[in-house]
């Protein structure tokens, strides 16, 4: 079925409003009824909307499918040029420029509005005329206000507030649907219906298409079919194993959501075939477009390379314009109704399968005072809203009935060794399951005897942590650590637990860590009874700016978080590759967490599924699924979860030792001077020879 047929009735009902709004906006470019400097903003924004109308005609005429690649690339550049680094400094999408031209208050509001209007690029590709129309009408309403006299900024803000609030029924409900409904097949149709050797297909998505996206697609096309199928098979088999290991019935599920970065379509196409053989329909939903559906620093869905990460950063807290308690309650009510509407699809949803990328240059954000930011009251509201969203989600998509998998591959920005690194990444993702299962069990056997673990940094690394472990009632049947091989987290290579908070204390320090697309440098976190007591980073000269970044990106605006996970990574092969190519600071946390001890702050690995039994391959039950915070779910769900889980790893090079300490005071070294010294694990050091 043609994807557009789904929206045919809705588009027919909105068509008159759409055409009238486009005609009205078309006249704005030649009008002089608004005084400067505001006229320039409205004229330029109206011109952008006019370009959207022109591209719609281009698509309707069938030229998108027949035009040469050069024409499609030219259109892609035109649509995104305003936010590309070379033009962004004089774009109204840049809040600093908008404020400099339009003044405080007006600049932030109108920059936000223009940012939302830029979503038209996506809406025109997906044939979503309602979204364009409601934006057009709001733009016209605000334009009319400036025609009469320059309104108070508060009046403009009120219009925006009610626009966002009133249309939440549309924007939020559609977001829930697109994440659950396989019939919304826009992206899946592109992948299934086009020759992937003809890279013009990339421009059909509507995302910004970078040289990196093109090179990745071109490289995958150059690989033998068996290698690309191996990539897809490893990915989908990890997903299947996740259900098996967790004791969950995949046969009860009917849909899986694939999340990935454009360029990997050849692998995704094979993965789609594999999932369908497992009885799962594939959902390919885009990363959120409307601000009301986005999360700062996180993208859930398929997407292209960001045209400008500073642009994303500048707008990460645009919800500060409308976030208050009334809006929080309104959104929660809409979410509840939306999930109820799509409860059958929600019950059939098996969970996400994610393909991450790595290799981009470290992003050094500039904190602009003109950008919107949450005040302390809004930070608390945002945290409450996140928790409410998680509770509603778990009601309709229970965490103990779903699973996931994550795998990662490099992109060309990693350097001239891209192809070799890609090949070695494939090898890392397919390491010997059985060998690592045995090596990791040796570590777990020692940790099961321990009361706590001490982790100490080396050289300039200040780490000195004591991690308390849960006691075992029956060592023959129970274990503290999960033996993580290649299932939900690919590549394999870690043993992990949810530590006891009481008695967990000390300093965690790392020289660099990637959180989403942000590189945080010289991070230091202090724990007391398992809770974050203090934190700093070295990204900015002003330490307060550093604290703000850590609070935003790691604490997710909470005042404190518990240590939700302690793990020991065993993938020395990945570490050796990172050192060989000098890319340690370019790897994603998915791989880095397997390359040393790592600690997650936030929820445990078992959040929303603590009652579900988990067993290691040797048959022992993993009993460390709760901590003193998560157990509060039995009294008050709002106190038990934080809706975040952020991993931080100490690489072997910064590690002095990991030592297991028994209740009697006996100490057993697991790692010393960055090498495995526990008897029976020496083989893990082989990849490290010569480093």
β pairing state of 494-497 and 482-484: antiparallel
pLDDT band at 144 (very low <50, low <70, confident <90, very high): very high
Sign of CA dihedral 112, 113, 119, 121: negative
- Taking the C-alpha atoms of residue 109 and residue 613, their distance in angstroms, rounded to an integer, is 50
Q: Given this model, what pLDDT does residue 2 score?
A: 66
Residue whose C-alpha is closest to residue 574's, from 678, 509, 489, 454 = 489
pLDDT band at 587 (very low <50, low <70, confident <90, very high): confident
CB-based contact 370:108 (threshold 8 Å): yes
Q: What is the mean pLDDT of residues 545-563?
A: 91
- Helices 38-60, 106-117: inter-axial angle, 10-degree rounding: 0
- Taking the C-alpha atoms of residue 650 and residue 509, their distance in angstroms, rounded to an integer, is 8
CB-based contact 524:464 (threshold 8 Å): no
Q: What is the mean pLDDT of residues 432-436?
A: 84
- Taking the C-alpha atoms of residue 190 and residue 214, their distance in angstroms, rounded to an integer, is 16
Beta bridge partners of 661: 452, 667
pLDDT band at 675 (very low <50, low <70, confident <90, very high): very high
Q: Given this model, what pLDDT does residue 90 score?
A: 97
Residue whose C-alpha is closest to residue 564's, from 634, 620, 647, 508 = 647
Q: Given this model, what pLDDT does residue 362 score?
A: 76
Helices (H) and strands (E) in the chain, counts: 25, 19
- Taking the C-alpha atoms of residue 669 and residue 662, their distance in angstroms, rounded to an integer, is 12
Other C-beta atoms within 10 Å of 663: how many? 10
Query: pLDDT, tens digit, for every residue of 57-103?
Result: 999 999 999 999 999 999 999 999 999 999 999 999 999 999 999 99
Query: pLDDT, tens digit, for every residue of 389-416?
Result: 999 999 999 988 999 999 999 999 999 9
Q: Given this model, what pLDDT does residue 183 score?
A: 94
Q: Given this model, what pLDDT does residue 486 score?
A: 62
Q: Which one is predicted more confidently, 362 or 316?
A: 316
CB-based contact 443:572 (threshold 8 Å): no
Residue whose C-alpha is closest to residue 652's, from 599, 601, 691 = 691
pLDDT at 689 over 90: no
The secondary structure of 54-114 as a DSSP string is HHHHHHHTTHHHHS-HHHHHHHHHHHHGGGSHHHHTT-TTSHHHHHHHH-TTHHHHHHHHH
- Taking the C-alpha atoms of residue 92 and residue 44, their distance in angstroms, rounded to an integer, is 9
Beta bridge partners of 633: none
* Greatest CA separation for the chain: 84
Q: Given this model, what pLDDT does residue 430 score?
A: 86
CB-based contact 206:221 (threshold 8 Å): no
């Amino acid at each position: 079925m043609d994807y557009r047929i789904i929206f045919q009735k809705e588009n027919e009902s909105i068509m008159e409003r759409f055409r009238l709004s486009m005609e009205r906006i078309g006249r704005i470019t030649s009008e002089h009824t608004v005084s400067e400097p505001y006229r320039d903003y409205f004229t330029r924004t109206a011109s952008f909307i006019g370009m959207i109308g022109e591209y719609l005609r281009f698509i309707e005429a069938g030229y998108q499918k027949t035009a040469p690649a050069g024409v499609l690339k030219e259109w892609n550049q035109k649509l995104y040029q305003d936010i590309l680094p070379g033009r962004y400094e004089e774009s109204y999408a840049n809040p600093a420029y908008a404020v400099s031209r339009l003044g405080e208050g007006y600049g932030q509001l109108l920059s936000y509005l223009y940012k939302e209007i830029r979503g038209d690029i996506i809406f025109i590709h997906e044939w979503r005329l309602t979204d364009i129309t409601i934006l057009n009408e709001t733009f016209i309403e605000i334009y009319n206000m400036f025609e009469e006299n320059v309104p108070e900024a508060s009046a403009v803000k009120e219009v925006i507030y009610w626009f966002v609030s009133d249309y939440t029924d549309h924007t939020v409900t559609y977001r829930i649907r697109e994440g659950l409904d396989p019939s919304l097949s826009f992206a899946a149709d592109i992948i299934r219906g086009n020759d992937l050797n003809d890279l013009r297909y990339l421009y059909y998505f509507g995302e910004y298409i970078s040289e990196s996206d093109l090179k990745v697609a071109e490289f995958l096309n150059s690989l033998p079919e068996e290698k690309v199928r191996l990539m897809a098979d490893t990915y989908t088999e990890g997903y299947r194993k996740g259900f098996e290991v967790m004791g969950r019935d995949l046969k009860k599920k009917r849909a899986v959501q694939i999340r990935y970065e454009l360029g990997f379509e050849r692998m995704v196409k094979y993965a789609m075939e594999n999932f369908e053989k497992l009885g799962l329909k594939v959902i390919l939903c885009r990363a959120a477009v409307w601000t009301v559906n986005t999360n700062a620093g996180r993208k859930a869905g398929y997407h292209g390379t960001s045209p400008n990460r500073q642009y994303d950063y500048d707008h990460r807290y645009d919800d500060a314009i409308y976030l208050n308690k009334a809006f929080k309650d309104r959104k929660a009510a809409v979410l509840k109704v939306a999930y109820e509407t799509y409860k059958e699809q929600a019950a059939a949803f098996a969970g996400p399968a994610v393909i991450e990328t790595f290799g981009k240059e470290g992003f050094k954000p500039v904190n602009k005072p003109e950008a919107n930011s949450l005040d302390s009251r809004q930070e608390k509201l945002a945290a409450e809203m996140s928790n409410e969203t998680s509770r509603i989600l778990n009601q309709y998509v229970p965490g103990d009935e779903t699973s996931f998998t994550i795998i990662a591959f490099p992109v060309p920005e990693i350097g001239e060794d891209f192809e070799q690194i890609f090949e070695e990444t494939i090898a890392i993702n397919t390491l010997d399951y059985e060998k690592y299962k045995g090596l990791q069990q040796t570590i777990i056997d020692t940790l099961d005897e321990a009361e706590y673990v001490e982790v100490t940094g080396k050289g300039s690394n200040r780490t000195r942590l004591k991690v308390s472990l849960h006691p075992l009632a029956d060592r023959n049947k129970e274990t503290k650590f999960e033996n993580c091989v290649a299932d939900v987290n690919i590549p394999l290579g870690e043993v992990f637990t949810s530590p006891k908070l009481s008695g967990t204390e000390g300093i965690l320090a790392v020289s660099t860590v990637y959180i989403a697309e942000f590189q945080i440098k010289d991070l230091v976190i202090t724990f007391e009874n398992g809770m974050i007591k203090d934190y700093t980073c070295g990204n900015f000269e002003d330490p307060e700016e550093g604290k703000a970044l850590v609070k935003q990106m790691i604490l997710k605006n909470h005042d404190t978080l518990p240590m939700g996970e302690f793990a020991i990574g065993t993938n020395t092969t990945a570490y050796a590759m990172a050192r060989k190519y000098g890319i340690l600071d370019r790897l994603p946390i998915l791989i880095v967490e397997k390359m040393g001890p790592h600690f997650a702050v936030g929820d445990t690995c078992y959040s929303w599924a603590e009652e579900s039994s988990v067993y290691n391959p040797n048959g022992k039950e993993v009993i460390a699924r709760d901590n003193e915070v998560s157990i509060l779910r039995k009294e008050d769900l709002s106190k038990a979860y934080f809706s975040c889980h952020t991993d931080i790893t100490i690489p072997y090079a910064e590690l002095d030792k990991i030592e297991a300490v028994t209740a009697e005071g006996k100490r057993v070294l697991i790692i010393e001077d960055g090498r495995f010294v526990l008897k029976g694990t020496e083989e893990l050091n082989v990849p490290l020879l010569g480093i």
